[in-house]
Amino acid sequence: MFEFGVTLMVKKSQLSSVGLQAVLLRATRLHFVYIAAFMASIIVFDSWNLITHQAVANFWTAAVALLVINTVFWYLARTPSRNGSLYRTLIILLILADIVFASLTIYWERGIASSSVILFAVPIITSAMLRSRSTLLATAALSAAGYPLASVRYYYLHYGESFRVELYGEVGFFCAVFFILAGLLLAIDKSTKSDS
């Protein structure tokens, strides 16, 4: 009887590990598309001289860094492991890389003038794949820290490009949207669980 219980526990943890492996594989595959779309936009903007050479170098460096991180994580995700915490850690590191990437992009695109605030949806949605309320809310909080950091830092280093009320209004609004997105994803996850 004890042996049967141990076997069930091992199988349950293996399923958890396999599920996390599948989540990481899916997330990294979609990140390849995300990075390719970002790189394509850099090429288009550069070919029409819409961004400076320094901006092209900055964006390209950040995109290649994210591509390298994503490729390493994709490779590790293809390697079977019974350790589910390895896959969970890699997913969290990918989320953190996404937040840094989005924050740098916001800063390089002139803070609140940037149209790249949507990039923070990527780490928030990626964290929802873990089906963990605390991970999702932590990701929304880190995104709500990254966006103001980039925007406020740009504003005060380039003082006078916008109004302070506009800065804090934009920051407050988008930080609220990050938590609203997280709440909606939590509601979807709860409704999916109750339908099962």
Q: Is residue 164 very low, low, confident or very high in pLDDT (cuts 50, 70, 90)? A: confident
C-alpha to C-alpha distances, 147 to 53, 165, 194, nearest whole angstrom: 24, 16, 34
Question: For the segment 16-52, what is each residue's pLDDT rounded down to a tens digit?
Answer: 788 999 999 999 999 999 999 999 999 999 999 999 9
d(CA 138, CA 91): 13
Whether residue 4 is predicted with pLDDT greater than 50 in this model: the reply is no
Whether residue 64 is predicted with pLDDT greater than 80 in this model: the reply is yes
Please tell me the total number of residues recorded for the chain in this structure.
196
Question: For the segment 115-147, what is each residue's pLDDT rounded down to a tens digit?
Answer: 999 999 999 999 999 999 999 999 999 999 999
> Residue 177 sits in which domain range?
2-195
pLDDT score, position 7: 41
C-alpha to C-alpha distances, 166 to 117, 128, 156, 160, nearest whole angstrom: 15, 31, 13, 12
pLDDT score, position 84: 86
The DSSP letter of residue 119 is G
pLDDT score, position 88: 95
pLDDT score, position 13: 36
To the nearest 10 degrees (0 to 180), the angle between helices 164-195 and 133-157 is 170
d(CA 96, CA 91): 9
Number of domains in the chain: 1
